[in-house]
Copies of this chain bind each other. A is one copy, B any other.
Amino acid sequence: MQRRTFLSGVVPAMAGTTLFPFAPTPLIEKNDAFPGLITREKEPSNLEFPFATLKGRITPNAQFFVRSHFPFPKLDPDVWKLSLTGDVKRAITISYDELRKMPSKTVMATLECAGNGRAKLAPKVKGLLWEQGAVGNAEWTGVPLSALLEKAGLNADVLEIILEGADKGEITEEPRSPGEIRFARSISLKKALEANVLIAYQMNGKDLPIAHGYPVRAIIPGWYGMASIKWLTNIIATSKPFEGYWQTIEYAYWKRQANQPTLTAVTAVEAKAEIARPMLHEIVPAGKPYRIHGAAWCGEKSVIKVEISTDNGLSWQGVKLLDTEIPNVWRLWEFNWHVPSKPSTAGILVRATDSDGHVQPDKHDPDRRTYMVNKTVAMEVEIG
């Protein structure tokens, strides 16, 4: 097994890639071990995918954005156990070997950080200032969560499933955490029973990299990344709505209910299209065709259309959606732009529409706080 190799000094997830020709310790400890990513924070490690480098539908592991709230836990898969407790008929504990012997499934899913695009908010806000690249798409292999829940047997009153990681620490800035806490999040029982919700141990066919939750993480397709708990150790069935730090203090927004703003956990991903190329202030040759391209995703919904404007939002036209539709997965798109022959500047915008008819807005709703930022933003390029 690859983890034997790991214990003898080679990081299994990175074995065979040319981007990471080094020993495992720096990969765990140091962020400069990620040359293909933009550092947004050194410790804990927060690294952004340079979206302009988007090439294919699958993001290579080494280029997948890293969002962490605490130092990476170092878990030994020979010792690691996953416990499933709470409001269940039989509390169970599963070893890494046992998990890997269960019937597995591979699911493609796009993960986007709930704060992706936050750098676009004005005035500047608190929090990691992600540009466009706190998003990536991979194939994940693991055991459906529903299979584990079935093993334990849920009681009739279960409402939510809490997922808890081994990553822990104390938030000492206001609003403070209640001492040392683990990263934890709940998902609705309905979501937990979806066939594509995985307890995953592989990413693009390799064992999970440390940065992505080795040995085991959750994958909650269609929800923002914060729900896909990395370094997963505990699953807890509960009959009460979970009001943990990471869905009240962080990753929560104001939902209006009966005219009252009520603090609500961030869950499903909103519609979004992003431009990979051209880049901001890129000089585009005048009078020649230019292939504008990028990706678009709508969380649990389908991408119905992506429109583009090359005149700062005055007129819009459809782009070509590439690839086939896969639930919870982004679609690459392209648009062949006939660049004007006269040197000038152009503001390029894109917007996605989801299968519920939601179109990306042109303003950020402050009720969303600094999450779910999907307003359209003009990208200015030079024609010359």
Name A residues whose Cβ lies closer than 8 Å to a Cβ of B.
86, 126, 162, 164, 174-179, 181, 184, 236, 238, 240-245, 248-249, 252, 254, 257-258, 260-264, 366-367, 369
Copies held by the complex: 2
Q: Which of B179, B241, B252, B367 contacts A241 (CB 8 A)?
A: B241
Residue pair B263, A244 in contact (C-beta under 8 Å): yes
Contact yes or no, B245 A178, CB < 8 A: no
Contact partners of A181 in chain B: CB under 8 A: 261
Give the chain B neighbours of A263 by CB distance below 8 A: 243-245, 248-249
Query: What is the CA–CA distance of A264 and B249 in the complex, to the nearest angstrom?
Result: 12
CA separation between A261 and B243, bound complex, in Å?
8
A126 touches B174 (CB 8 A): yes
* Chain B contacts for A262, CB-based, 8 A: 240, 242-244
Q: Are B243 and A162 in contact (CB under 8 A)?
A: no
- Asked if A260 meets B248 with Cβ closer than 8 Å, knowing A174-B174, A175-B175, A366-B179, the reply is no
A260 touching B241 by the CB < 8 A rule?
no
Q: How far is the CB of A115 from chain B (nearest CB, A)?
A: 15
- Pairwise interchain contact B258-A86, C-beta atoms closer than 8 A: yes
How many Å lie between the Cα of A87 and that of B236 in the bound state? 32
26 contacts between A and B (CB under 8 A): A86-B258, A162-B260, A174-B174, A175-B249, A176-B369, A178-B254, A178-B261, A178-B367, A179-B261, A179-B366, A181-B261, A236-B258, A236-B260, A242-B260, A242-B262, A243-B262, A243-B263, A243-B264, A244-B260, A244-B261, A244-B262, A244-B263, A245-B261, A248-B248, A248-B252, A248-B263
Nearest Cβ on chain B to A208's Cβ, whole angstroms? 25
Cα distance A5–B244 when bound, in Å?
A: 52
Q: Are B240 and A257 in contact (CB under 8 A)?
A: yes
Across-interface contacts of A241 in B (CB, < 8 A): 241
Q: How far is the CA of A290 from the CA of B178 in the complex (A)?
A: 42
Tell me which residues across on chain B come within 8 A of A179, comparing CB atoms. 261, 366-367
